[in-house]
Chains A and B, each alone.
Chain A
Amino acid sequence: NAGVTQTPKFQVLKTGQSMTLQCAQDMNHNSMYWYRQDPGMGLRLIYYSASEGTTDKGEVPNGYNVSRLNKREFSLRLESAAPSQTSVYFCASSDQGQSTEAFFGQGTRLTVV
């Protein structure tokens, strides 16, 4: 089993460009999440999907959109990248909600110049 797979691993964007981060899990989990990790701070929730067909805003949703394509896949889109979105992005999944054990992807290191 691959667990949670994120692509790409690294990306450099120019301000104003758009991109989509892809995430897929093969554990048949109901819930999926997108977090960002910045130096000196804990992971912060951007968006989550409690189950297939639903998405909800997390703590820092501005500038992002998400799509729960099916039970396996949950993508994160930056429509117009800004330098403040330079960060490491993690996708995660869990069986039932945020309070249960989450499994994380390897992360995407995004730099916006």
Chain B
Amino acid sequence: DGGITQSPKYLFRKEGQNVTLSCEQNLNHDAMYWYRQDPGQGLRLIYYSQIVNDFQKGDIAEGYSVSREKKESFPLTVTSAQKNPTAFYLCASSIQGAGANVLTFGAGSRLTVL
């Protein structure tokens, strides 16, 4: 089955530690996205990538980093510089061009900072 796999589902982190969230897709989509979700708020874009080896900052990129070395993979690192990292993180992908707006989401990763 084609889809997006995020791991881990739940992650606990101590303050000052970096953590990396994995996102893998087998949909052959060119574009991939990371969103952050907080209770009562919409999804906010952290980073996105339209092609391998290229990515752009979204609306709330500070304290996060990404890489896109392979088409299938778009890992997100939450660094110690992110002041309020506890949240639900969603990875998504889409085709380029026509239909690019139709995002397919993964099941999410919940990060809790202790």
Do chains A and B stick together as partners?
Answer: no
| Interface, chain A (partner B; CB < 8 A) | none
| Interface, chain B (partner A; CB < 8 A) | none
